[in-house]
Amino acid sequence: MSFPFNVYLLAFVSAALTTALTLPLWRAWCRRTGLVDDPGHRKIHHTPVPLAGGLAVLTGLIVPLLGGALVLGLKLATFPSADFALSHGLERRGVELAAILLGAVGMTFLGWLDDKHELRPALKFIGQFLIALVVAAAGVRVTLFVPSVVFSYAVTIFWILTVTNAFNFMDNMNGLCAGLGAIGAWYFGVLAAVDGQYLVALLALLTCGALLGFLPFNFPKATTFLGDAGSHLTGYLLAVLAILPHFYTPENPRTLAVLTPLLILAVPLGDLTWVVILRFSHRLVRRGMSNHRAVLIIWLIAVALGALALI
């Protein structure tokens, strides 16, 4: 029996609602504690903007997960075709999921420290590296069909660091980072659901929902920003979602399976490649586009490239 669609829908909606409902609380807390982005040179806002987005998105991810685990454990509700699958999946990949959630909290905390104290790049890199190492040690690793543990660790850590920082660099316009994260998470969720990889699909849809719950507060006009906490969390989650699915299986042997995550994340990875020269989003603005239109066009490019991954 196939995994029930209503469980996927519940994960998506609950994450979006949790983020949207808790964001005003986090925004008020950020104002009280001074966690705001002050106006300054090259900034378009004229009043301090709370950096509450990352905290709200993390809440939107964790609260539905804990709620679902509680419901499953206490059998407060039943989904006949899902209960056994979820219980079996959690037993089989429980350590990996725990490490992923620990890494999400760690990345958010690291970004929060950077928002609050402007960490030195070397210190921030060390924090990112340690988090990636813990995730890889838990078994969430890239193999690329190379039978070498050292190679697997190295590629996994490099991938997580690269994608995390790619999204961190993309957080330069309202809605850009969160929108691209939501688009990427949606495609990873669809691909995983089609292949019956329900735990990956649920995590992806939770991520997508949490980011979409934040977007109305950030685009087109921002009353709150993701901050480094949010951009670190978004990049980390997308990096992990690119590792978790089995894009190549004996039942579905895709010859170019390795290209799937590269297509879905092509926009942030491409921007990272060009960031030393000139940001892609800023190139569009310099050609006369408004910030809002540039963000919409980049979202559209990400949608198109993700569609190629589905094909």
Q: What is the pLDDT of residues 173-201, one digit of tens each?
A: 899 999 999 999 999 999 999 888 889 99
Q: CA 266 to CA 270: how far, in whole Å? A: 6
Per-residue model confidence (pLDDT) at position 195: 86
Task: Report cis status (omega within 30 of 0) of the bond before 261.
Answer: no
- Could you tell me which of 163, 160, 123, 157 has the C-alpha nearest to residue 137? 157
211: pLDDT strictly greater than 50: yes
Q: CA 264 to CA 304: how far, in whole Å? A: 9
Rg (CA), the chain: 19
- Looking at 7-11, 76-80, 156-160, 196-200, which range is the least confident one? 76-80
Per-residue model confidence (pLDDT) at position 1: 46
Q: CA 275 to CA 277: how far, in whole Å? A: 5
Residues 6+ apart with CB under 8 A from 25: none
Q: What is the mean pLDDT of residues 282-296?
A: 80
- Binning the chain into helix, strand and coil, the percentages to the nearest 5 are 70, 0, 25
- Could you tell me which of 127, 166, 118 has the C-alpha nearest to residue 280? 166
Whole-prediction pTM: 0.88
Q: CA 20 to CA 217: how far, in whole Å? A: 8
